[in-house]
Structures are given as C-alpha cells and as structure tokens.
Amino acid sequence: MKHSIIRTTLAALFVWGALSGCSDDSVTKPEDTNQAPTLPSVSTMKFNLDFYGVAAPTVDAQSLETGRPSDTMLQSAAGGDHENWINAYVRAVYIYLTTFDMLEEPIGAFAYAIHSVPQKQDDGSYLWTYIFVDKEIEYSVFLFGTPKLDTVEWRMEVSSNDPALTLDHFLWFSGESKRDDTGGYWQFFDPIDETNGVQSARIDWVNGLREDTMTITANGVGYPNEGDILTFSDSRKTGSIEYFDASASLTSSIIWHSDGTGSLTVPDYNGGAQACWDTEQRNVACE
C-alpha cells in the first residue's frame, strides 16, 4: 500500500471546475432522491492494454523487471525487425504494472462494490459495506456515494487487519463523478497511521464523444515521483500513452493506430528519435 509510481510511469492533469448552481445550497446539499447513484466503472480507475489488437509477445520476467525487452525476448519474437513494436509493448506493460501496483488494493476493493446492496443514510448519502480480501489481508470497506445536482461525491473508508499497519476507517480515496458519466476524478491516499493519510496519486477521467482520456498525476508532496504525469487516450482509431518525467522535464510517448501501425518515442531508445512499425508490426521508417 506504500508503493509509489516508478518514474517510468506517466499522467496529465484535468481539472473539473466546481459545480455551479442557483445557490451555495445546491452545491453542498445532497440531492433528494431515493435511488442510489450508479457506480462508475472500474475503467475510470484503470486503463487496459487491449489497444494492441494483435498477438502480443510474451513478456518474460527479466523484461518485466527492467521495463526493457530482454535479448531472449527479442530473439524469439520474429527477429529484430519487430524491435520497435516489442520495445513499445514491453514499456506499456511495465508502465501499466508499476502504475497500478500502488493502487491495486483500493481499485480491487472498489470493484467489489457492485456485489453489495447500498443503504441510504440519514445525511442523504448511500453506503455500500462489504469485505474485500487481498493477499490474505481482510479489508472492511465502507463506500459512500452522495448524490448532488449533476454529480456524485464518493468516499471510500477502510479498516483492515494488516499486521504491517492496522487501519481504522482510513480514507482510501475520495472523488467525484458526473451523473451523465462523462468525467470525474479520484484522489488516492497513503496511510501514515491507523486513521490518517497523505495524498499520493490523482486520476482524472473523461468519457468523450470522440476520445476517452485517463490521467494519473503523482501528487504526493515530497515523493520521489512528485509531479510525474501519465496520460492514456483512446479515440477508437488512435490511442496513446504519454509520460512526463517531472524531475528530468522529459516526455515519452507510445502511439498506436487501429490498422496495427504505431510509434515509440523515449529518451533511451533509438537515440531519442521516433521509432515506428507498420501494419505487420515490422520496423519501418517514420514518415
């Protein structure tokens, strides 16, 4: 739970303005409703790698550890003429695993909410309560959703029997989602004791008509990766992962297209120049 995003992970920050209404009361008071708000999809917290759409290479342990394809992997994957694509895929998998390593437990706990029946509370919020077990550690989860005029405010508290750090109604994350499912944000926290924590990462998400975007910002003050930003975008025909390394002020990117072509641009590969592949994922000169 105290993992941090490794510097080779990425994200970008989208800020939604505060909800405006006819009066301050329309913002602060829950909407009067007897229907529980709809839970946002887990996909608002975690992107997937389905974009490749082709037979992906098997990533071995050495490649997963370093974030670079091993010699064995390169030699076993149709020769060196697929090196650009293989490099991009290994780096994408590495980004995915290292980014969500620190968020694994709260995201996993949130996914279980769909199996629980929410109960309305006296303050107008709805409460989902259930048990989530991960790696033999039992978490008692309390997920609150408070309907507002156009949004829903979310808060997850957790208690656990983790021998390393027992938790007692610790705020695991908070957030907000739009009622029309077009966007929102999640703010995650790392515990410092049983009940208190500090912010660690923020996810902003947009479900657009033409493009879906998820951004992950490492916003833990004093963390080694503070300010690092990962941006994942999918426009149905084109997708991308972009990473901004705040400490080095460098940006890396992986771009793919629905026809199987794509490119990789990172400081430590191909002299930092763009490296491309064709519809059969073979190395090709970039246009």
> Does the predicted TM-score (pTM) go above 0.85?
no
- pLDDT: which is higher, 209 or 21: 209
Q: Is 49 left (phi over 0), alpha (psi -120 to 50) or beta?
A: alpha
pLDDT tens per residue, range 181-202: 999 999 999 999 999 999 999 9
pLDDT higher than 70, residue 64:
yes
Beta bridge partners of 239: 234, 256
Residue 189 in contact with residue 171, Cβ under 8 Å?
Answer: yes
Token pair in block for residue 6 = 């490794």
pLDDT tens per residue, range 73-113: 888 755 568 899 999 999 998 988 888 888 999 999 999 99
- Report which of 21, 1, 274, 38 is spatially closest to residue 178, judged by C-alpha positions: 38
Give residue 287's pLDDT: 86
- pLDDT: which is higher, 16 or 41: 41
pLDDT tens per residue, range 26-51: 334 455 567 899 999 999 998 877 76
Give residue 21's pLDDT: 30
Q: What is the rounded average pLDDT of the residues 215-244?
A: 93
Give residue 54's pLDDT: 58
Chain position carrying tokens 């209404």: 21
| Cα 89 to Cα 92: distance, rounded to the nearest angstrom | 5
In three-state form (DSSP H/G/I as H, E/B as E, the rest C), the secondary structure along the chain is CCCCCCCCCCECCCCCCCCCCCCCHHHHCCCCCCCCCCCCCHHHCCCCCHHHCCCCCCCCHHHHHHCCCCHHHHHHCCCHHHHHHHHHHHHHHHHHHHHHHCCHHHHHHHHHHHHCCCEECCCCCEEEEEEEEECCEEEEEEEEEEECCCEEEEEEEEEECCCCCCEEEEEEEEEEEECCCCEEEEEEEEECCCCCEEEEEEEEEEECCCCEEEEEEECCCCCCCCCCEEEEEECCCEEEEEEEECCCCEEEEEEEECCCCEEEECCCCHHHCCEEECCCCCEECCC
pLDDT tens per residue, range 256-276: 998 889 999 999 999 999 999
φ, ψ dihedrals at 246, nearest 5°: -65, -40
- Across the chain, mean pLDDT equals 85
Q: Considering the chain, what percentage of its residues have pLDDT values greater than 70?
A: 85
- pLDDT: which is higher, 53 or 130: 130
Chain position carrying tokens 């405006």: 20
Instruction: Say which residues have a Cβ less than 8 Å from residue 240's Cβ, sequence separation at least 6.
Output: 231, 232, 233, 253, 254, 255, 256
